[in-house]
Amino acid sequence: MQKKKVRIIGVPIDLGADRRGVDMGPSAIRYAGLHKRLKKLGWEVEDLGNIEVPIAETLEIKDPMLKYLPEIAQVNQKLYSLVAQAIQEEAIPLTIGGDHSLAIGTLAGCSASGKELGVIWFDTHGDYNSMDTTSSGNIHGMPLAVSNGIGVEELTGIGGTNRKIKEENTVIIGARELDPQEGEALRNSKITVFTMSDIDRLGMEKVVEEALEIANSGTEGVHISFDLDVIDPGEAPGVGTPVQGGMTYREAHLAMEMIAECNCLLSMDVVEVNPILDIQNKTAELAVGLIASAFGQRII
């Protein structure tokens, strides 16, 4: 990779989800040795600490279809500024969470750079809901839709009212649990979706090759959004919304190694690590290993 500066931004947010605990994800990932691992790979590492996030017990849900909307918007506004500044200063922002609602801020920050952006979204879920399709009101199920201009202005307007992604350069990998209306919305979009069934049939190498071709077509960099629930719970038990039948340990590492080889990484977020549900910090340690692979670690 040409860039050798990485800037870590912690976002201890769990307001976007029903299950508590992912607010401790940034601490668990740091404890698993993130800083040391990246420095060993030759990266200049700066850790900005955590964005301040209010706790749920001090707040009131004003709209059950958009839970904690004002607070989530405020956190993402702060994150947008930090990500945009990191890219402007030629560092790769690495955002660690925290629930997936934080991707609203990371993608807004990437978009502010003015670079044409590709997106690869590793997730069990599509995160393509809005207040009109959600059954839970949880905003961590909405960030990809918000970044495509779908949703309320408090979220879509972060970093400007423009769409933050281009559908034709956006790929979801590992989907295996989509809400019915969400799936229909994705089918009607130009977003490419590789389900776990596609991975079974084609193999991870072929899927990631195609994903990189799509994300890199006419773009200047790729944002990787990695939700640890895309990995099978046997390998990653400490996640907010575990679903059986996910990626294997090696499939996930292969994907990250191929991303490193393409030398196209503009920014990355790693989300949904829940230490309360974890076993001896196993999931956070896996997260650090995957980040290391994406930033260039090799077996030999």
Catalytic residue among 23, 123, 251, 285: 123
Catalytic residue among 14, 23, 272, 285: 272
253 labelled catalytic: no
35 labelled catalytic: no
Catalytic residue among 140, 269, 278, 285: 140
Locus of tokens 């709209």:
63
Locus of tokens 């993608």:
107
By C-alpha distance, which of 209, 207, 205, 189 is closest to 197? 207
Catalytic residue among 14, 71, 127, 285: 127
Q: How far apart are the first and last CA of the chain?
A: 17
125 labelled catalytic: yes
Write phi, then psi, for 97 (nearest 5 degrees).
-125, 180
Catalytic residue among 14, 71, 125, 177: 125
100 labelled catalytic: yes
Contacts 24+ apart (CB under 8 A), 287-290: 287/29, 287/32, 287/96, 287/226, 287/228, 288/29, 288/32, 288/33, 288/34, 288/37, 289/37, 289/253, 290/226, 290/252, 290/253, 290/256
Catalytic residue among 100, 177, 253, 269: 100
* Both structure tokens of 147: 């970044």
Catalytic residue among 71, 99, 229, 269: 229
269 labelled catalytic: no
127 labelled catalytic: yes
Catalytic residue among 23, 71, 227, 232: 227
| Residues with active-site annotation | 100, 123, 125, 127, 140, 227, 229, 272
